Chains A and B, each alone.
Chain A
Amino acid sequence: MSDETAQNDFPMGDGPSAAETREKMLEVYPKKTQRKRGKQMLVNETPETPAAIGANSRTVPGIITQRGCSYAGCKGVVIGPIYDILHITHGPIGCGWYSWLSRRNMTKIRHPEETNYLQYSMSTDMQEDHIVFGGEKQLEQAIQEAYDEFKPKAISVYATCPVGLIGDDIHAVCRKMKEKLGINIFGFSCEGYKGVSQSAGHHIANNGVFKHMIGLDDTPVEAKYKLNVLGEYNIGGDAWEIDRILRLCGIHIIGTLSGGVSYDEICNCHNADLNVVMCHRSINYMAEMMEQKFGIPWFKVNFIGIEGTKKSLRKIAKYFGDKELIDRVEEVIAMEMVDVRPVIADVTTRTKGKKAALFVGGSRAHHYQDLFSDMGMKTIAAGYEFAHRDDYEGRDVLPSIKIDADSRNIEELDVKADPERFNLRKTQERKVALEESGFDFSDYEGMMRQMAKDTLVIDDISHHELEKLIELHKPDVIGSGIKDKYVIEKMGVPCKQLHSYDYGGPYAGFKGAINFFKEIDRMISSKVWKLTRAPWKDDSDSQSTAAKEPVAVS
């Protein structure tokens, strides 16, 4: 481990530079793959004007990617967490099974008589004869059965790969059954081959939620400050911690899309005066469409990290503009920091100057840099699994992003202002006034601007690249997902799963940050790695290395 001065001089620590590391990662690939991967791996040379990254491009076949599919993004991530919609997967058994409670998106029923449908995995379990003769009838019956048994408020249908290929019209079946049963029924054409990753599924999900749920219930919401939190999926209870803090401030959340949320809350959430966005990648479409139709402004927040949480709370208070709220937010921050401060003081004695790398999601690889920085740690390399250029370089690159064949296939809704409901709350005027005073709306600066100069940015990292990074730089901790967790740990580096939080969380807000600090401290300070070397294997030469290095020798 290098000392702190060296760390400051060398953004990658004492190992090779980011450029050298990049070269070493690429050299194993065939030429064509080298060219393709080269565009997805950048040295952050000019953080203030980030270079163009080849994000959201097709995964190279045969690279062991961590990416999932469109179905996973649609059903698994965005719509799946809504507990009182009955979800039906139309397809053979695998997809429905794998998305059955496999994300840790927590939920609680609102009333004792309700059923939490997330306990359920409904699938049409298509068999060979359905593939040959079509599965629409099977789907129709499945919807009927689901209705007879549960009488849900809404049923949602998800298409898997074979459905699109054999030409089942799930939307026609949904329309027919909606008319017949008189409840809301809608489908998502989120076949796994659409788009290049789960990101396509997010977009498809946003479109469906917007078309079939948003704006259905105009019942006014009685609250002085009311907003929606978009792109927060309540992994490990994050949404509950955000809700706790906002409540303390006197701010009411109508809908959290879509962690721990109910169908009714989504149908009613256009009554909010503001949308704040956590995961920009998965839900920016919704924020944009709600603004176009209802005039609700949005901006990016980050409740991951102490500094991020404070900044986000202050920005929300400034948006509403009441002194009473602005003061209350400061009170809440001061109150919460009483518990946070001693923990930071304690853990930083062990974590300061340590190196982290983050390869996760479409927002967490950025957000968690804040938490590491709160503990005095440096992020030497980071990348998303399925994000787009704007998540790396900031939304200002949006006009220059070329629409490729894969993105063109995903529907862009033509949204117009609602003739009656647009701007009901006169938010536009307030928005304009704020913008004039330097307040950013519809903003996302992206990950690269925040990262240190000459660190590494790697999109959709492969196992091979990860292995090189560990070999050359030995980060003290890596935040990633289950698919590379054990690869990383086999190499003697602790890995924190940031998709599912392992079994921990929440990590959002103040209490969440405390959980995270303690967790990372535990991982970095663990003595378990020292046990990899048996005492009788030691010889005098390697003993000193063994004491210093947590990794067993080769």
Chain B
Amino acid sequence: MNPDNTTAQGTPAEGELPASATRNACKLCSPLGAAMVFKGVRSCLPFLHGSQGCATYIRRYMISHFREPVDIASSSFSEEDAIFGGARNFEQGVENVISQYQPELIGVATTCLSETIGDNMLGMIKSYQDKHNSSGPPLVHVSTPAYTGTHSDGYYGAIDQLVRTFAKPMTAKIAGHVNILPAMMSCADLRHLRELCELYQLSPTILPDYSATLEGSSWGEYHRISPGGTSLEEIEEMGSATATIEIGHTRAYLKNTPADYLEKTSSVKRHALGWPLGIRHTDQFVTSLSQISGNRLPESLKDERGRLVDAYADAHKYVSGKTAAIFGEPDLVIAQAAFLSEIGIRPIICATGAKVKKWKQLLSSEIEGGVADVEALSGTDHAKISARIRELKPDLILGSSKGYPIARELSIPLLRIGFPIHDRFGGQRILQVGYRGTLAAFDRVVNALLENKQDTSETGYSYL
């Protein structure tokens, strides 16, 4: 392909797309996902074992999305440590973290560097604890080399390790206690999940819960570690819950998930659900809450559901028959695809940077009317996504800020969802769960389409 066929943005306009290099990745590295989970545990300090650049880069991106302090420690490998191993740095790093932060938990994630040299993390943690007579906070470790998996895998991996490491096998159940294991959601989503549980008189343990740590208020005094998050005790007692709701369409078909572990070790019933976005999935979610609590749908939710259905009916004329491209984390993409197809928009491009087995099949069970016209791209990058968007010209693009160049090039509205959102304000509090979150998402979709129609119309009527 010669340069004349490229656009101003440098993305190829047509022709075969080469495959060896990833051009404008649609995924981030796995330690980022793990760090996000550790930020959702009370008084936990994330610690990356490797070169300090990893911690710095990840902090940089999380901060630009959440606009909150994000402290992540690093064992700061030097060239020598890369050759002889990082045990000494690890020990010194942990000591310093304890003396400065007094954390209740240290969440250790590995990096490409420590994984490539084969540092034995479990051994290092054990020898640290032996040396200190197990005094000091506990440590948990998740293996997150970026050369396997994406930030989404790091996220689920860290939840898994927290549950397996700390949740005690329990037989006694506490009525009304439920565990929620969310997908990578916004702070507003996590808050609303709690609110929904409480409407059913349930007391949830949400893991992770970074709704306060990554979207806090102004502080009267400085906190070394942001207040909020799920406590270690709560994680230890997850076995006392009557049920676990594990959110994420890709998770539902997996065995050996943390919810599955809790079911096996403590007979906590696993409810594997999709992301509660859209009426159908929210119905399933509240049905689970009903079953777990024995309580009926509260009036307030009934009203919210009613208003949502009413809105669907009112705006059907604006959305019906429209098409969309979605990109992002696998569970986010499936959730959006299900929602859009429910309101009458065809999700003709469903793309994720993660390599997901049976991606098209996963989508097909969520998209009404079959997937014959849906391009299911997994393990893809923005160069390929952009090429397909140019070809298929959808009416709407949904995804992170990284979709901006193609949206601008083709004058297609971009609805920013997922991670990271660094060119708009408030990305950390976009609500997309429950009837209320669905209504908010629906309004955004309708208005994006209306705005575009108005802006590109010849008459520019103000009454639509």
Contact = CB atoms under 8 A, between A and B. Distances in A.
Interface of A: 28-30, 32-33, 58-72, 88, 91-100, 102, 113, 115-117, 119-128, 130-131, 138, 141-142, 144-146, 148-151, 160-162, 164-166, 191-198, 405-406, 409, 462-464, 467, 470-471, 482-487, 490-492, 532, 551-554
A145 to B, nearest CB: 4
A161 B112 contact: yes
A70 B53 contact: yes
Q: Which 10 A-B pairs have the closest CB atoms?
A: A69-B53, A94-B29, A62-B96, A62-B93, A61-B93, A192-B51, A141-B20, A92-B146, A125-B22, A554-B221
B455 to A, nearest CB: 24
25 contacts: A59-B76, A61-B75, A61-B89, A61-B90, A61-B96, A62-B100, A64-B72, A68-B53, A69-B52, A102-B61, A115-B8, A123-B21, A124-B20, A131-B145, A151-B3, A192-B51, A192-B53, A192-B54, A193-B51, A193-B113, A467-B224, A485-B63, A486-B67, A486-B70, A554-B220
Interface stretch (B78-86, B182-190, B244-252, B308-316): B78-86
B363 to A, nearest CB: 23
Given A59-B52, A69-B53, A149-B6, A94 B112 contact: yes
Contact of B79 (A60, A96, A151, A406): A406
B102 to A, nearest CB: 10
A50 to B, nearest CB: 27
Contact of B29 (A33, A92, A195, A197): A92
Contacts of B10: 115-117, 119-120, 150
B29 to A, nearest CB: 3
B56 A552 contact: no
Contacts of A485: 63
Interface in B215-270: 216, 218-224
Contacts of B221: 554
B147 A128 contact: yes
Contacts of A99: 57
A98 B72 CA distance: 16
B56 A122 contact: no
A162 B53 CA distance: 13
A30 B99 contact: yes
B1 interface: yes
B69 A486 contact: yes
Contacts of B74: 59, 61-62, 65
B18 A149 contact: yes
A107 to B, nearest CB: 12
B18 A67 contact: no
Contacts of A198: 53
A161 B24 contact: no
Given A123-B25, A150-B3, A196-B78, A98 B60 contact: yes
B291 interface: no
A485 B64 CA distance: 10
A30 B111 CA distance: 27
Max count, chain B CB within 10 A of own CB: residue among A71, A99, A161, A470: A161
Contacts of B72: 64
A97 B29 contact: yes
Given A61-B89, A471-B222, 11 more contacts: A58-B78, A62-B100, A64-B100, A67-B52, A97-B25, A98-B28, A120-B24, A165-B116, A482-B63, A485-B63, A486-B67
B22 A58 contact: no
Contacts of B421: none
A126 B147 contact: yes
Contacts of A58: 76, 78
B79 A94 contact: no
A470 B10 CA distance: 46
Contact of A92 (B3, B82, B100, B112): B112
Contacts of A164: 82
B420 to A, nearest CB: 10
B377 to A, nearest CB: 15
Interface string B140-176: 0000011110100000000000000000000000000
Contact of B218 (A121, A467, A492): A492
A59 B56 CA distance: 13
Nearest to A489: B218
A94 B361 CA distance: 28
Nearest to A465: B100
B116 A145 contact: no
Contacts of B76: 58-61, 65
Contact of A88 (B21, B77, B90, B116): B21
B94 A62 contact: yes
A482 B60 contact: yes
A95 B75 contact: no
A181 to B, nearest CB: 14
A72 B53 contact: yes
Given A59-B52, A92-B112, A490-B222, A120 B23 contact: yes
Contact of B77 (A122, A193, A197, A492): A193
A162 B113 contact: yes
A122 B23 contact: yes
Given A113-B3, A151-B2, A552-B219, A93 B25 contact: yes
A61 B92 CA distance: 6
A198 B51 CA distance: 11
A209 to B, nearest CB: 21
B303 interface: no
A463 B28 CA distance: 26
B96 A60 contact: yes
B95 interface: yes
B73 interface: yes
Contacts of B18: 145, 148-149
A71 B96 CA distance: 26
Contact of A115 (B3, B90, B113, B224): B3
Nearest to B1: A149
B68 A486 contact: yes
Given A94-B32, A161-B50, A483-B60, A192 B113 contact: yes
Contacts of B52: 59, 65, 67-69, 192, 197
B114 to A, nearest CB: 9
Given A62-B95, A490-B219, A166 B79 contact: no
A125 B148 CA distance: 10
Contacts of A553: 220
A28 B147 contact: no
A171 B94 CA distance: 37
B410 interface: no
Among A117, A146, A162, A406, max chain B CB count under 10 A is at A162
B32 to A, nearest CB: 7
Interface in B1-20: 1-4, 6, 8-12, 18-20
B31 interface: yes
B7 to A, nearest CB: 8
Nearest to A197: B52
A162 B145 CA distance: 10
B45 to A, nearest CB: 9
A124 B68 contact: no
B241 to A, nearest CB: 33
A201 to B, nearest CB: 9
A165 B23 contact: no
A162 B220 contact: no
A264 B111 CA distance: 37
Nearest to B99: A30
A194 B79 contact: yes
Contacts of B384: none
Given A145-B21, A165-B116, A97 B59 contact: no
A361 B378 CA distance: 39
A68, A100, A462, most chain B CB atoms within 10 A = A68
B71 interface: yes
B279 to A, nearest CB: 35
Interface string B299-313: 000000000000000
Contacts of B222: 467, 470-471, 487, 490-491
B381 to A, nearest CB: 8
